[in-house]
Every structure is written in structure tokens, then in C-alpha cells.
Amino acid sequence: MKHEITVTVNGTKHTAEVESRALLVHFIRDVLNLTGTHIGCDTSQCGACTLLLNGQAVKSCTILAAQVDGKEITTIEGLATDGNLHPVQEGFWQEHGLQCGFCTPGMIMSSVDLLGRIPNPDEQQIRHNLEGNLCRCTGYQNIVKSVQFASKKMSGAAGDD
């Protein structure tokens, strides 16, 4: 069975017909060609497919495309605005929070969500809130530093640092 959905992705409205069983991650990758959202496992453990749905981080392999009708999605490709990096992107770059880069988009989207909820997380909060995203290259320490970098920068911009 097919469903017609209208969804805003990275600020652009798309209308499409999707199969009932189609996962959001396949819609994003195969229909919209936004391949920065990755697939790393079949069981929602790795978090490589994480994106923002109405501002909240979700694993797009656990959501059906048919469920996102009328909603707003931000993927890694839409995070920078007007060519300016999001502070989390800057953090992963400056603090060497990435190596092979495969987990990076999902890790960044989860971090954006985290800093929206907890602007100044301590190390334990960062580790706890990002435990749904796996990275095999970095040993995580520089990812923690990347989030701390962004947190500092974002609170600085808000004038309370």
C-alpha cells in the first residue's frame, strides 16, 4: 500500500508516495539522495542514521516514512546555515571528534539534540546521552571534547558564559 506524504526536509518541502513498509532512512537516502544519513546496523543500536524530526533526535531506521507526514526533518546536510558550521560541527572538526566519518553525522545530530536539552552537560551527561551512538575509531574521548567545545561556544553566543 502507498501513502502520500508531505514533509519538510532541510527547509524544502517534498511530496512523495511511499510504501507502507518503507523506512524513513530509505526515503531520506534513496528518494531524496541525502546520503549523509548512514545505515550501520539492522537493529537500531548504532545510531548512524540519527536525524532531527521536529527538532528531536531519532534513529531514522526505527521510523516509517509514512509516519513523518506534515513534519520537519533536519539531516546532517541541513545543519550548517548560510555556509556557517553549526558549533557541534565545528567541535567535531576542531577537537578531532571524527576519524572514518561514518558515525559522525548521527553523532553530531544526537549531540545537537543533547545540547538543546542540556546546554552545559558534564562529561558523564555527555557519555550517558550519546550512548545510543556507536563509534569504533575514536575511543569517544575526542567526541566528548567536541561536545564540550560546542557547549562552550553556544553558551558564549547566548551571552551567559
Partner 1 sequence: MTATSIIGTAIARTDSAEKVHGQTRYAADLTAPGLLHARLTTAYQAHANITNIDTSAALKVPGVKAIYTGKDLLPDGPEPASRPMAMLARDKVVFYGQPVAIVLGETEEAAEEAAGLIQVDYEPLGVNVDPIASTGKDATPIRSRDIDAGEGEGEAHATVSGGAEMDVSDLGPNVTDAVAFKRGDVEKGFSEADVIVERTYRSHSVHQGYIEPQAMMVVPDPVGHLTIYTPTQGQFFVRNMVANALGLEHNDITVVPMEVGGGFGGKTCLLQPLVAATAKRVKLPVKLVLSRMEEFLLTTPAPGTVIEIKSGAKKDGTITAIRVRGVFDSGAYPASPTNVATLISGGYYRCANLDLEGVEVITNKPGVGAYRAPGSPQATFAIDQNIDEMARKLEWDPLEFRIHNISVEGDPQPNEEPWPAIGAKEVLEALRTHPLYTNKPTGPGEGIGIAVGGWPGGVEPCAAHLRLNTDGTVNLSLGSMDISGTNTTMAMIAADTFGVPMDQIRLTTANTDSAPYAGMSGGSKVTYTMGIAVQAAAEEARQQVMAIASAELEASPDDLEMIDGVVQVKGSPDASLTLSQIATMSMSFGGKYIPVSGNGKSAVQDKAPGFSAQLAHVHVDEDTGEVELKHLVVAQDVGKALNPAMVEGQIMGGAVQGVGWGLYEGLIYDDNGQPLNPNLMDYTLPKLDQTPTLEIILVEKTSKAGPYGAKGVGEPPVVPTAAAIANAISDATNGARVSEIPMTSQIVLEAIQKRDS
Q: Which residues bind to partner 1, rule: CB under 8 A?
A: 29, 34-43, 45-46, 48, 75-77, 79-80, 85, 89-90, 92-94, 96, 98-105, 108, 123-124, 126-128, 130-144
Minimum CB–partner distance for residue 160 and partner 1 (Å): 26
Among residues 16 and 85, whose Cβ is nearest to partner 1?
A: 85
Q: Is the dihedral of CA 60, 66, 67, 70 positive or negative?
A: positive
- The four Cα atoms 76, 6, 14, 74 give a dihedral, to 10 degrees, of -10
Q: Are 47 and 106 within 8 A, CB to CB?
A: yes
Distance CA 3, CA 140 (A): 40
Minimum CB–partner distance for residue 152 and partner 1 (Å): 17
Distance CA 32, CA 155 (A): 34
Among residues 6 and 100, whose Cβ is nearest to partner 1?
A: 100
Q: Which amino acid is residue 31, in one-letter code?
A: V
Minimum CB–partner distance for residue 138 and partner 1 (Å): 5
Among residues 6 and 123, whose Cβ is nearest to partner 1?
A: 123
Minimum CB–partner distance for residue 43 and partner 1 (Å): 5
